[in-house]
């Protein structure tokens, strides 16, 4: 059985004025996501600013989310690192506190070879029994999992079960599904390509958009999976202006700005991320209040 089907939210991490983690607000966000139909919580991913957290904060946030969600929907913990030993440690700690799955990004900056990536993922998988979703996002990491490498890992390692595919290359996705015979849990990592990936055998999305429009993203995926392709395709096209606004600056800068505009008061960003540029804020505000007002959650 898949870790989840549908829309998983790549959840932001709310901050206090002093940039400590705002656990009370995080609790509110978790409850809102569950109430709006989100199918899984992805905690401490890129959107959650995990790269700026200490290892203790990282584990504390994962533990908090798992305790608050309390098995109502799956919680998938981001435990990737550019250091294999650190990724092993984070993965073991997340498994110990009850994560339903692990999202493990390719090691960034090091630019490992495919041989190195295979060794990296196998080492992590050998250290835990928890299902692992690989995260392929070379635009952020400078390191790409090739389709054959993905296929080899999924077929050869029992608890490596899927991939969050964020290359933006649909031909790559088709190759992955061909090489695995469809025996892989494929999730879109790009909110503008949810329906295209579902059409190739995907089972869901790990979504930034779900931070501001959880019900909409859930319904889009479920419409497709339930056979209403026409409605799902229309929803995919309808949300493109919002997607563009949410990615006009590096994620999660616009996502946090949007949530603050919506009155969710999630705070600022940790350095080196900075507040959104004023002209981009105006574009985002217009999209939220006019162009896509019917999509976002109040």
Structure tokens at 69: 């969600």
The answer to whether residue 187 is catalytic is no
Q: Which of 25, 108, 121, 164 is catalytic?
A: 164
Q: Which of 108, 135, 224, 243 is catalytic?
A: 135
Q: CA-to-CA distance for 199 and 47, rounded, in angstroms?
A: 26
172 CB-near residues (< 8 Å, 6+ apart): 147, 165
The answer to whether residue 135 is catalytic is yes
**Which residues are the active-site residues?**
135, 164
């Amino acid at each position: 059985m898949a870790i989840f089907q549908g829309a998983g939210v790549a959840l932001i991490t709310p901050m206090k004025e002093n940039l400590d983690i705002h656990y009370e607000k995080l609790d509110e966000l978790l409850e809102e996501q569950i109430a709006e139909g989100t199918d899984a919580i992805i905690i401490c991913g890129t959107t959650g600013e995990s790269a700026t957290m200490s290892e203790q904060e990282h584990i504390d946030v994962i533990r908090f989310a798992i305790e608050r969600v309390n098995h109502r929907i799956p919680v998938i913990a981001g435990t990737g690192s550019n250091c294999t030993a650190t990724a092993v440690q984070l993965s073991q700690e997340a498994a110990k506190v009850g994560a339903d799955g692990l999202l493990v990004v390719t090691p960034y900056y090091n630019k490992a070879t495919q041989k190195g990536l295979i060794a990296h993922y196998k080492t992590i998988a050998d250290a835990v029994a928890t299902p692992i979703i690989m995260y392929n996002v070379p635009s952020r990491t400078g390191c790409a999992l090739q389709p054959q490498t993905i296929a080899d890992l999924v077929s050869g390692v029992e608890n490596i079960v899927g991939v969050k595919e964020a290359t933006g290359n649909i031909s790559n996705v088709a190759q992955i599904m061909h090489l695995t015979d469809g025996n892989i849990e494929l999730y879109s990592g790009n909110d503008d390509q949810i329906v295209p990936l579902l059409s190739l055998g995907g089972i869901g999305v790990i979504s930034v958009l779900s931070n501001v429009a959880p019900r909409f993203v859930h319904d889009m995926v479920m419409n497709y999976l339930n056979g209403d392709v026409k409605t799902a395709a229309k929803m995919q096209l309808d949300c493109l202006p919002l997607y563009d606004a949410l990615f006009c600056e590096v994620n999660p800068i616009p996502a946090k700005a949007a949530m603050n505009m919506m009155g969710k008061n999630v705070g600022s960003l940790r350095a080196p991320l900075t507040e959104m540029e004023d002209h981009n804020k105006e574009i985002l505000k217009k999209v939220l209040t006019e162009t896509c007002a019917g999509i976002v959650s109040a």
